[in-house]
């Protein structure tokens, strides 16, 4: 499985990616290996020694690396598989709703030589033929996350010099590989810098399980929500306890009582797994009829153009930079911001000067080699940036490990360039604050950016996680 999980942190290029974790390789409870060889032998003989109770490693224990759950056969991502998805469709016990990321649409578009809009319509038709109730576009939830991120940045910037003021730089939180790394490796000192805004995946999850369920007359535990994403680490994100909540039920006394706990996102399928599903069903996808899009949570106008923002990883730096320049300094930026490459193509920065003084300094930081430089500067108190868009994968989300592999004759570099083009094809660049779907979400549900309800549903918190398993292996 190692080649199929978390390629952002794979062993293939140790000069950029972090080393694999050894934290989860403990074959038996209550038994401590006296040496690395003994431990590995026990791990290999685990299947045959049924009298010993194996340790069960869950997604919550993962460091988003290639050292343990990616290679051990005893650990299966059963709740994050095609089989589980198909079983829910067959059982018909729950309404299945699918949300699709724009990066996955671009990947499928490249594979089938179609436009992303054609892919979205065909995929909607295909999934509904299998029994899916609705197919939505996570560009809508991305705009909600962007608005909340803009509001959060403004608040932190304004109060940065206060005694209990905002902590800068703000580090984006949409990449689960980076978040896992921060929580389990960097310690508590880095967590206050991370944005509290949920990723578009989880924002979509909370929209569907709360607001959409209410509009559709469904209970949250009656919906099975599947997100189609470019990254295997998104499966880890969906499995976090922070993204589960209790469904209230009316008890025998008539009072509300806590009911079953449900996940905002029940399962994540990668772009490649969706291709596997299409091939499994032996569908001629290119010839498939294009179905109508579900408009309830899909950014599409009457001409079929999708609303979007620049940037294959969600456009966080560009959107927040543009908004901050306008709100804080009255500067309206027309056209592209023009991020400049610093050191390498995966590290870029943009600067806003007012009267000769730098007032905003933002960065795009992709890949762990660049990330570790930023972290080092923060730890030393020498980071000059106000906002950093952080992604674990070099080239960002379009290069996620769950994307479809290059077609024959295509190089990885060529594919990234094609995906960048396809990502914006059929997209009408628009201001997230003018998105009618998001405006309606605030009007009907969240009140306004940064409100108590917005913080309850669209924000989260991160935790420093003790590496207890690693400690047990310290003598290997």
Give the pLDDT confidence score for residue 163 in this predicted structure.
64
CATH number, position 441: 3.40.50.1780
467 inside domain: no
CA dist 448 and 434 (Å) reads 13
Four-point Cα dihedral 172, 177, 183, 185, nearest 10: -120
416 inside domain: no
Give the pLDDT confidence score for residue 9 in this predicted structure.
37
Q: In the numeric block, which tokens belong to residue 287?
A: 């010839």
Bridge partner list, 344: 342
Please, are residues 309 and 216 in contact by the beta-carbon 8 Å criterion?
no
Question: Do 179 and 316 sit in the same domain of this protein?
Answer: yes
CA dist 354 and 399 (Å) reads 36
What is the residue range of 190's domain?
144-197+309-399
Reduce the DSSP state of residue 53 to 3 states and report it: coil
Question: Do 316 and 386 sit in the same domain of this protein?
Answer: yes
Burial classification of residue 319, based on how many CB atoms lie within 10 Å of its CB (0-12 exposed, 13-18 middle, 19 or more buried): buried
423 inside domain: no
Backbone φ and ψ for 269, nearest 5 degrees, come out as -115, 135
Give the H or E element holding residue 244: strand 244-250
Which residues have C-beta within 8 Å of that of residue 110, sequence separation ≥ 6? 404, 407, 415, 418, 419, 422
Question: Do 223 and 304 sit in the same domain of this protein?
Answer: yes
Give the H or E element holding residue 437: helix 436-441
Give the H or E element holding residue 347: strand 344-354
469 inside domain: no
Question: Do 210 and 237 sit in the same domain of this protein?
Answer: yes
Bridge partner list, 357: 354
Name the DSSP letter for residue 164: T
Q: What is the pTM of this model?
A: 0.84
CATH number, position 319: 3.40.950.10
363 inside domain: yes
440 inside domain: yes
Ordered per-residue pLDDT tens for the chain, 476 residues: 334 444 433 333 333 434 334 444 433 333 444 444 444 454 444 444 444 444 444 555 554 443 444 333 333 456 788 999 999 999 999 999 999 999 999 999 999 999 999 999 999 999 999 999 999 999 999 999 999 999 999 999 999 877 666 789 999 999 999 998 899 888 788 999 999 999 999 999 999 999 999 999 999 999 999 999 999 889 989 988 999 999 876 555 556 667 789 999 999 999 999 999 999 999 999 999 999 999 899 887 767 677 777 766 668 999 999 999 999 999 999 888 889 999 898 999 999 999 999 999 999 999 988 999 999 999 999 999 999 999 998 888 999 989 999 988 888 889 999 998 888 777 777 889 999 999 999 999 999 999 999 999 999 999 987 655 444 444 34
Which residues have C-beta within 8 Å of that of residue 289, sequence separation ≥ 6? 122, 125
Give the pLDDT confidence score for residue 304 in this predicted structure.
65
Question: Do 190 and 216 sit in the same domain of this protein?
Answer: no
Give the pLDDT confidence score for residue 336 in this predicted structure.
84
475 inside domain: no
Give the pLDDT confidence score for residue 28 in this predicted structure.
34
Residue with tokens 């949250």: 220
**Domain boundary residue among 76, 96, 118?**
76
Question: Do 48 and 129 sit in the same domain of this protein?
Answer: no
Question: Do 377 and 255 sit in the same domain of this protein?
Answer: no
110 inside domain: yes
Please, are residues 157 and 326 in contact by the beta-carbon 8 Å criterion?
no
Q: Parallel, antiparallel, or unpaired for β 95-100 and 223-229?
A: parallel
Q: Where are the alpha helices (DSSP H) in 182-289?
A: 200-206, 213-216, 233-238, 271-280
- In the chain, the number of structural domains is 3
Residues in the chain: 476
Please, are residues 144 and 205 in contact by the beta-carbon 8 Å criterion?
no
Give the pLDDT confidence score for residue 314 in this predicted structure.
63
Question: Do 121 and 229 sit in the same domain of this protein?
Answer: yes
Q: How far apart are the first and last CA of the chain?
A: 24
Question: Do 130 and 219 sit in the same domain of this protein?
Answer: yes
Question: Do 210 and 283 sit in the same domain of this protein?
Answer: yes
Backbone φ and ψ for 51, nearest 5 degrees, come out as -70, -20
User: Cα 76 from chain centroid?
Assistant: 21
Q: Left (φ > 0), alpha (ψ -120 to 50) or beta: where does 144 sit?
A: alpha
Give the pLDDT confidence score for residue 35 in this predicted structure.
44
Question: Do 129 and 240 sit in the same domain of this protein?
Answer: yes
Question: Do 382 and 266 sit in the same domain of this protein?
Answer: no
């Amino acid at each position: 499985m190692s080649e199929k999980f978390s390629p952002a942190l794979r062993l293939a290029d140790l000069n950029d990616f972090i080393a694999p974790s050894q934290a989860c390789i403990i074959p038996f409870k209550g038994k401590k290996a006296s040496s690395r060889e003994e431990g590995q032998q026990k791990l290999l003989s685990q299947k045959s020694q049924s009298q010993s109770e194996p340790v069960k490693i869950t997604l919550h224990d993962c460091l988003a690396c290639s050292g343990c759950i990616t290679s051990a056969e005893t650990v299966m991502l059963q709740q994050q598989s095609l089989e589980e998805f198909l079983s829910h469709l067959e059982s018909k016990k729950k309404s299945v709703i699918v949300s699709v990321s724009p990066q996955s649409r671009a990947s499928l578009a490249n594979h089938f030589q179609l436009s992303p809009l054609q892919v979205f319509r065909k995929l909607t038709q295909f999934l509904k033929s299998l029994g899916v109730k609705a197919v939505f576009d996570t560009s809508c939830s991305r705009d909600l996350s962007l608005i909340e991120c803009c509001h959060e940045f403004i608040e932190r910037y304004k109060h940065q010099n206060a005694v209990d003021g905002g902590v800068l730089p703000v580090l984006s939180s949409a990449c689960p590989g980076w978040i896992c790394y921060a929580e389990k490796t960097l310690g508590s000192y880095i967590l206050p810098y991370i944005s509290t805004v949920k990723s578009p995946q989880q924002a979509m999850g909370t929209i569907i399980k709360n607001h959409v369920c209410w509009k559709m007359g469904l209970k949250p535990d009656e919906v099975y929500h599947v997100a189609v994403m470019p990254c295997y680490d998104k499966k880890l994100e969906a499995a976090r306890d922070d993204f589960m909540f209790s469904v209230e039920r009316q008890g025998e006394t008539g009072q509300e009582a806590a009911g079953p706990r449900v996940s905002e996102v029940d399962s994540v399928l990668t772009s490649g797994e969706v291709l596997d599903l299409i091939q499994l069903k032996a569908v001629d996808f290119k010839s498939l009829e294009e179905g109508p899009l579900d408009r309830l949570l899909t950014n599409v106008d009457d001409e079929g153009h999708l609303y979007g923002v620049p940037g294959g990883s969600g456009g966080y730096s560009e959107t927040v930079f543009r908004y901050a320049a306008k709100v804080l300094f009255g500067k309206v930026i027309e056209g592209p911001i023009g991020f400049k490459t610093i050191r390498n193509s995966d590290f870029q920065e943009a600067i806003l000067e007012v009267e000769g003084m730098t007032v905003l300094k933002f960065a795009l930081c992709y890949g762990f080699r660049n990330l570790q430089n930023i972290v080092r500067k923060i730890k030393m108190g020498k980071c000059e940036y106000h906002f950093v868009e952080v992604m674990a994968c070099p080239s960002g989300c379009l290069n996620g490990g769950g994307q479809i592999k290059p077609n024959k004759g295509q190089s990885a570099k060529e594919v990234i360039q094609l995906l960048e083009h396809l990502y914006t094809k059929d997209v009408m660049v628009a201001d997230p604050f003018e998105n009618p779907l998001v405006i309606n979400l605030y009007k009907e549900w969240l009140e306004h950016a940064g409100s108590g309800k917005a913080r309850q549903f669209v924000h989260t918190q991160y935790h420093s996680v003790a590496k207890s398993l690693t400690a047990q292996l310290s003598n290997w």
